[in-house]
Amino acid sequence: LQLLSATSAATAGDVATGRGSEKVHVAIYYESLCPYSVRFVANHLFKAYRDGLLDAANLTLVPYGNAVVRNDGTISCQHGPEECLLNTVEACAIDAWPDVKVHLGFIYCVSDLVLKNKHREWESCFQKQGLDPKPVTECYKGERGHNLSLEYGRQTAELVPPHQFVPWVVVDGKPLYNDYGNFKAYICKAYKGYPLLEACRSLGLEAHDDVYGRL
């Protein structure tokens, strides 16, 4: 896991603990077939990206959630083997395409199919997003994909405080608990750049509003 630790896993750790650049650190711990997770990704997170809000954020997606590692090293997922497959596929997408605009687009596509009960058509997202399937296919079918999932499981298990449900949203090291639906306001509060993002103005927030005190 040395390569993983130097790339995507390091990014996830920095985001969860609020370390790194001046951008707001946002980590989403989720499951690929959890209805709450996919609704958050498809209806809220992707819209925030389209609105430009994520320009102020370092976003990390952690597709693992409530899965557990068995004694034999295999992974058991809350919503069954198909969720384990898609968790690994999405982990591989993040690894193959580190640019958040690319892997978020792919994960949004898969999440949208899940919402439509068409998740078994997930491979169509390669063509829809104009992406070469080879790196992800080789990853999820091989040892690399399993190791990525194990690493994301380790990161999820090390959350302080521990996650209570999914999606579990962390902004600059602070979990939002049940208020994750207001994650955009928390990002706007944490963002110190100027001028204020248009996406924040549309929420009625000013540059130094005490969002944590008001929500």
For 200-215, write each residue's pLDDT tens digit.
888 876 544 444 443 4
The boundaries of the domain holding residue 51 are 2-214
pLDDT value, residue 9: 45
Give the distance between the most distant pair of CA atoms in the chain. 53
How many domains does the chain contain in total?
A: 1
Q: In which residue are the tokens 């690894």 written?
A: 95
Q: Dihedral of CA 168/174/176/177: which sign?
A: positive
CATH number at residue 208: 3.40.30.10
**C-alpha separations of 205 from 47, 130, 182, 210 in Å:** 18, 37, 12, 9
Tell me the pLDDT of the chain averaged across its residues: 88
Quote the tokens at residue 67.
Answer: 């899965």
Output the CA torsion 50→130→40→31 (10° steps).
Answer: -150
Chain segment 24-49, per-residue pLDDT in tens = 999 999 999 999 999 999 999 999 99
